[in-house]
Structure 1
């Protein structure tokens, strides 16, 4: 598999925000989001075997793993092998995905955090995948403005989402305006600032 980096940090978003976590960031992505915070992971990376990845993770310690990217599900076969190994060793795993690749074969081994792309990103997710989200999983909308919030609301009204939904303002946007609109419309979401950006960590 092609790995951009493996490191320890705090989980910055989603259901496990604030928890110490080992991140496996895979290289390569099929999207070019306007507000991507890891453009370096779109290309390059280091070729590593599943065993080498496991060894690196073991040395870093910790039992919570996040497989992210880029778009990790572009390396589906290797990710599945990795997940099978992690399940044997008692790790808890979550996968962050951009909502363009089917994740159902990953769900027996990992929770899914699906990032639904809003208009300001310049990209689109496959909304049909939302029907496969379970209560164990979550969905994230990163919003830059009112149009993005309107889009998120429209998606939630059209699609049944059984997992928890997070709204995260883009760094530098009007956080208070987003929060106020969520309260005013009583949206069934959790407002969440991206912790890793506030702390200046990965």
Structure 2
């Protein structure tokens, strides 16, 4: 697999926000979201074996791991092998995915955070995958404007989502307006700003 970086930080978003975490960022993505903040991971990176990744993670000395990208499920076979190894050693693992690749094989070993792409991204997720989200998983809508909020609301109305749902503003969006909309419409979500952006860390 091609690895963009492995590093320690705080989880900046999702249900584990604020937890110390080892991030495994895999290179390559099948989407080109307009507001992507990790476009450096679209290309480049270093080829690493599963064993080499395991060794790097072990040196980080943390028990919570986030596998992200890019789109990590482009490397599904290697990721699944990693997950099985992590499971044997008692790690807690979350996979952040753009919702274009089937993640069911990963669910026995990791929680899934499916990032549903809204209109402002210029891309689309496979919404049929929402049926496979379980209570231990989560769904995230990154929103920039009213159109994105209306889209998120329509998706939630059409699909039963069994995991927790987050709405996260794009950096620079009108946070207050988005928060006000959630309150006014009583959306069944948690509003969440990206902690890592506030702290100025990865």
TM-score w.r.t. the length of structure 2 is: 1.00
For residues 154-200 of structure 1, the C-alpha deviation after alignment (integer angstroms, 9 at most, x for no partner) is: 00000010000000000011000000000000000000001111111
Residue correspondence of structure 1 range 1-202 to structure 2 within 5 A: 1-202=1-202
**SS of structure 2 residue aligned to 1:125:** coil
**1:78 is paired with a residue of what secondary structure?**
helix
Offset at 1:29? 0.1
Report how far residue 141 of structure 1 moved: 0.2
**What is the Cα deviation at residue 70 of structure 1?**
0.1
- Give the Å deviation of 1:144: 0.1
- Aligned to 2:150, the other structure's residue is in SS state helix
After TM superposition, give the deviation of residue 2 of structure 1 in Å: 0.5
Deviations 1:105-128 (A, max 9, x none): 000000000000000000000000
Runs (4 or more) in structure 1 with deviation over 3 Å come to none
Q: Give 3-state SS (helix, strand or coil) of 1:172's partner.
A: coil
- Unaligned ranges ≥5, structure 1: none
Paired residues in the alignment total: 202
Tell me how far apart the structure 2 counterparts of residues 194 and 174 of structure 1 sit (CA, whole Å): 14
CA RMSD of aligned residues (A): 0.4
Which 5+ residue runs of structure 2 have no aligned equivalent?
none
1-structure distance, mates of 2:84, 2:33:
30
Q: TM-score, normalised by structure 1?
A: 1.00
For residues 18 and 2 of structure 1, the distance between their equivalents in structure 2, rounded to whole angstroms, comes to: 27
**Structure 1 residue 38, shift from structure 2 partner:** 0.3
